[in-house]
Amino acid sequence: METSSQYDLSVIIINYNTADFIVRCLKSVASQFGVNSEIIVVDNFSKDGSLNFLKKNPWVKLIANNRNLGFSRANNQALKICKGRYVYYLNPDTEVKPDSFRKMIKFMDSHPDVGLAGTRLVYPDGSLQPSVENRYPGQRYTKNELKGLKGDIAWVLGASMIVRHELIRDLEGFDEDFFLYGEDLDLCLRIRKAGWLIGHIPEAEVIHWEGQSERGNLPVEVWEKKIKAEFGFYRKHYSSRAVRVIERSNLFQAFWRILTLNLMLPFLENKEEALAKLEKYKLVTKIWRQQKNSN
């Protein structure tokens, strides 16, 4: 079954309480010339008034959810109605630099062996944001389990990435077991396992404010989501032997850091940063124990 392509590009943006960013993002998307595109925004039950703004823009294809379905599931909702040759996943806390869409399409058209590619990401001050990785978390403990994958790029940050429509459709989109975090890792690895390369398009630049949909959550809540997502990635893609080794390594590191931080704490003038790290490592031990007991 071939994908019906009415556009060059289907842009998917998941909005969740980012009213002060989605305006800038959509303006930058609308200013892209030379590419026939459609814009699909899924609102995950925002409470900050951003939905009212989205409703006032008829050129945006809007899906308004009555609860927060998470990043992966919301993206898959939009994927079902996409009609572009390529699908572009874009975070709302971004600004796409001029001519980036055209550069992305040109790259993908000229690299038929690339299934998915990320763009250059920069912070608001213009400094480079790390967004390309050559290894997966915990991969050094897997021995040859991931042997034979194509290319040197393991994964790219999901804030700005373009993928072939037929490929992402065949893979049935994101794995919805990943509610938030880890879904970009998982998708890139599944694409490589299917025989494709992961690419990078430095000519296409996107400003990324990072983490804006999580502003209302405590750091410990964000850490918990990230740690659980990472564990889900290990359990899905690595052998039980590798997961056990990763578990021991993480627990040893966490216990060692807890010990040293507790010893250093009385002598520190500014204890706030140390206490935050202490809370994080205690959370690591708690989650790993929970996950182990649930198996």
Residue among 72, 265, 253 nearest 177 (CA): 72
pLDDT of residue 3: 54
Q: What does the pLDDT average to over 138-158?
A: 95
Distance, CA of 163 to CA of 39 (rounded, Å): 15
Residue pair 154/133 in contact by the 8 Å Cβ criterion:
yes
Q: Report if residue 129 sits inside a domain.
A: yes
Q: Report if residue 21 sits inside a domain.
A: yes
Residue 144 per-residue DSSP state: T
pLDDT surpassing 70 at residue 78: yes
Residues 6+ apart with CB under 8 A from 194: 115, 167, 170, 171
**HSE, side-chain direction, 13 A CA sphere, residue 222:** 11
Residue pair 23/60 in contact by the 8 Å Cβ criterion:
no
Residues 154, 259, single domain; the answer is no
Q: Report if residue 20 sits inside a domain.
A: yes
Residues 78, 192, single domain; the answer is yes
Q: What does the pLDDT average to over 115-126?
A: 97
pLDDT surpassing 60 at residue 1: no
Q: Mean pLDDT score of the chain, rounded to an integer?
A: 93
Domain boundary, last residue among 168, 199, 214: 214
Residues 67, 118, single domain; the answer is yes
Domain boundary, last residue among 197, 214, 231: 214
Domain boundary, last residue among 179, 214, 249: 214
Helix pair 272-294, 219-237: axis angle to 10 deg: 40
Q: What is the pLDDT of residues 6-17, one digit of tens each?
A: 999 999 999 999
Distance of CA 72 to the CA centre of its chain: 9
Q: Report if residue 234 sits inside a domain.
A: no
Q: Report if residue 231 sits inside a domain.
A: no
**CATH code at 39?**
3.90.550.10
pLDDT of residue 221: 83
Residues 13, 145, single domain; the answer is yes
Q: Report if residue 232 sits inside a domain.
A: no
Domain that holds residue 38: 7-214
Sequence-ordered strand ranges (E) for 21-97: 37-43, 60-64, 84-90, 94-96
Residue 208 per-residue DSSP state: E
pLDDT surpassing 90 at residue 294: no
Residues 149, 245, single domain; the answer is no
Distance, CA of 171 to CA of 167 (rounded, Å): 6
Residues 6+ apart with CB under 8 A from 58: none
State the total domains in the chain: 2
Q: What is the pLDDT of residues 160-209, one digit of tens each?
A: 999 999 999 999 999 999 998 999 999 999 999 999 999 999 999 999 99
Helix, strand, coil share (%) of the chain residues, nearest 5: 45, 20, 35
